[in-house]
Every structure is written in C-alpha cells, then in structure tokens.
Structure 1
Amino acid sequence: MNGFEVVALGLLAVGGWFWFDSLKAREAGIAAVRAACAREGVQLLDETVVGQGMCLARDDEGRAVLQRSFAFEYSDSGYDRFRGGVTLRGREVVLLDLAAHRPRFHIVQ
C-alpha cells in the first residue's frame, strides 16, 4: 500500500465511524423524545427527528464529544403542530424542549 491508499482507507474508516455514531445519536434522540411525549400526553408527529446542527463540546468528564441538535414536531390535539428540540452530547440528552403547547400566563397587577 502506498501513502495515498493508507490515507484514503483512514478517511473511509473515519467516515464510517461518523455515520454509525450519527445514527446512534439520532436513535437516542428519538427515544428521549418519544418518552417525553408520552409523559406530556402529546403525540410525536412523523415519529422522527431532524438534525439541526453539530459542534464539539465537553462532557462532564471534560472529554471532547460531538454535540448534536435535533428538531421535531408534536401535537397535543391532532389538529395543531408545535416544534420541539432535543440536544445531545454524545448520546446523553442535555436539553429537551417540549413546552410550546403549554399555555403562557401573564400576571396582571
């Protein structure tokens, strides 16, 4: 093997790892969103999440991990749509936003 083949094989391996890791993170996001929707009594629409962004971040132990953000849509009545979001560091959920369907109250003094 010459140098080009070694580099190409290395890039292919990194690409395969990234693809597999992205699928696992997406599955973890979907599982977290399904559980949150069940707790809130709302319906996850399309049964999927959509990638919104990715960056490097540090986990609780200080290691560099990929932080991914996903968006999803849900409904509380079946006649409306609300957007939610979930953020994962590695495969750990660090933020899950499912508050758009809750009424907002204003205190009048």
Structure 2
Amino acid sequence: MEIALIVILLAIAWFWIDSLDKRERAILLGGELASRFNLQLLDESVVCSRIWLGRNRKGHMQLLRTYEFDVSASGDDRLHCHLMLLGNQLGSWHIPPYLQPVN
C-alpha cells in the first residue's frame, strides 16, 4: 500500500514539474510567434486550457496541451491566441488577423 502511494505521489510531482516546464516553453514559443508578427506577448496571460493525449509522428502517445494567451499590437488592444504543444514540440497555433497601427 505504501509503495502505491509513493508511486502516485511521484507521478503527481512529475506531472506538476513537467507542466511548469511546458508553460515556460509555451511562453517562449508564444513570444517568438508574437515577435514574428510584430506583436507583444502578454506573458502573464499564458494559461493551459486543455490537456489531452495525442500521438507524435512516430506514433507514440504524448500529452497534448493547449495554451491560451493574449498579444497586443499597440498596447491598447488584446488579441486572444492559442498554441498546442505535443510533448515539447509546437503542434499548431493561431493568431487572429489584426490591423497594424498606422504610425
């Protein structure tokens, strides 16, 4: 019984640490995507909204996490975006169309 409890606690600890690592990865990738489109990532807005199972290119099961975040074009607006991480790899992403401010 004690061994099962220890295994469960270790699995929970691994999942928590892995989730923190993946959030940092999502912030990095979200920042790269935002800068590619001349947007500013509002990094305090990055949140994991869904965790599911997915298969990578080799057919192995991995956690598929969806992260939602906001970006801004001018500092006065917010665009709601998301990206999906399959394991540690960027699976897909979406940044909605926007009008760039005229200088």
**Fold shared per TM-score above 0.5:** yes
Structure 2 gap segments, 5+ residues each: none
8 Å CA contact 1:87, 1:95 repeated in 2: yes
Q: Show the 5 A alignment for 1:1-109.
A: 4-101=1-98
Superposition RMSD in Å: 1.5
Query: Helix, strand or coil for the counterpart of 1:12?
Result: helix
Larger proportion of strand: 2
Percent identical pairs in the alignment equals: 32
- Give the direction of change, closer, same or farther, for the CA distance of 1:54–1:102 in structure 2 (3 Å limit): farther
Gaps of 5+ in 1: 104-109
Cα deviation for residue 47 of structure 1 reads: 4.1
Q: Deviations over 1:64-99 (max 9, x none)?
A: 000000100111111111100010000100111113
Equivalent pairs, count? 100
TM-score of the superposition, structure 1-length normalised? 0.85
Asked if the contact 2:27/2:43 (under 8 Å) is kept, the reply is no
Greater gyration radius: 1
